Amino acid sequence: MSLPLSKVPFLKKRVKFPVTPHIPGGLTNPDQLRNLAAVAEKYGGTLKIVGNSITIMGLNLVDGEKALAELGAKPESFIAKSVRPVSMCPGKPNCPMAQQESTELGLALDEEFFGQDAPAKIRIGVSGCPNCCAEVFVKDIGLYGTAKGYVLAVGGNSGRKAQIAQVVADNIPEQDVALIIRNILVYFRNNGQTKERLGQTIERLGWYDFKTTAIPEQYRK
Ligand code: SF4
């Protein structure tokens, strides 16, 4: 994904804006942090930790584009109508409660889906157990692990019209999760309307229509 910031219309009116390099899963290392700190210092920015990301604040448009290029990362800034970075909890083997390897799955989903176009933002969350530390029920697409595989909840969001996701499938093996998300994105691209989150599209067209279109029968709830 390329994003020349100067092509984003509303940015031209802004004097300052945040620059957020994509850090998949929030998993970083000392070299990356040193580089981030050095770039922030070079352009006079301040750093803020936001969820799984670190934002350089206070840069102008020209310096922001240079900073992103120097960081060598995809930007998380200004990607409204697309799949956002995938949230994931530690999962196996790093959490004693975990029943599935949520970080491994989350990184694979992030690699495939982050930045893909959609009618509105799509947030995906993956948790290793029913405690749902990755806030699965307020994600457009949420997954949590059980001993039998993943449970899929769809249609949540914590935005202007907050909505709780509904469970639409269970016992999904890890290797089939991406296929189902591809189906869901096709459904949303075919049916989503302006300013409508996935859950609102499903509410408008009906859950039966959504499930029979996007969820394989053997996993459907
Ligand atoms: S959701 Fe479960 S596996 Fe993940 S961090 Fe929370 S308790 Fe651990």
As a whole number, the mean pLDDT across the chain is: 92
Q: Strand order in 87-88's β-sheet?
A: 87-88, 124-127, 141-146, 149-154, 166-172
Question: In terms of domains, do 92 and 59 share one?
Answer: no
Is the Cα dihedral 164, 89, 31, 111 positive or negative? negative
The per-residue DSSP string of 121-187 comes to -B-EEEESSTT-TT-GGGSSEEEEEETTEEEEEES-B-STT-B--EEEEEEE-HHHHHHHHHHHHHH
Q: Is position 80 within any domain?
A: no
| 19-75 tens-digit pLDDT | 899 999 999 999 999 999 999 999 999 999 988 899 999 998 889 889 989 998 888
Residue 9: per-residue pLDDT: 60
Q: How close is the Cα of 196 to the center of ligand 1, in Å? A: 30
Residue 1: per-residue pLDDT: 45
Q: How many residues does the chain have?
A: 221
Q: Is position 147 within any domain?
A: yes
Indicate whether residue 92 lines ligand 1 (CB < 6 A).
no
pTM score: 0.91
Coil, strand, or helix at residue 44?
Answer: coil
Nearest CA to ligand 1 atom 6: 133
Indicate whether residue 97 lines ligand 1 (CB < 6 A).
yes
Q: Strand order in 46-50's β-sheet?
A: 17-19, 53-59, 46-50
Query: Any idea what the CATH number is for the domain that residue 17 is in?
Result: 3.30.70
Give yes or no for residue 118 having a pLDDT over 60.
yes
Within 8 A by CB and 6+ apart from 185, the residues are 83, 113, 116, 118, 122
Question: In terms of domains, do 181 and 143 share one?
Answer: yes
Q: How close is the Cα of 131 to the center of ligand 1, in Å? A: 6
| 153-200 tens-digit pLDDT | 999 999 989 999 999 999 999 999 999 999 999 999 999 998 899 999
Query: Among 20, 47, 71, which residue terminates a domain?
Result: 71
Residue with tokens 């469970």: 167
For the chain, how many structural domains are there in total? 2
Question: In terms of domains, do 63 and 121 share one?
Answer: no
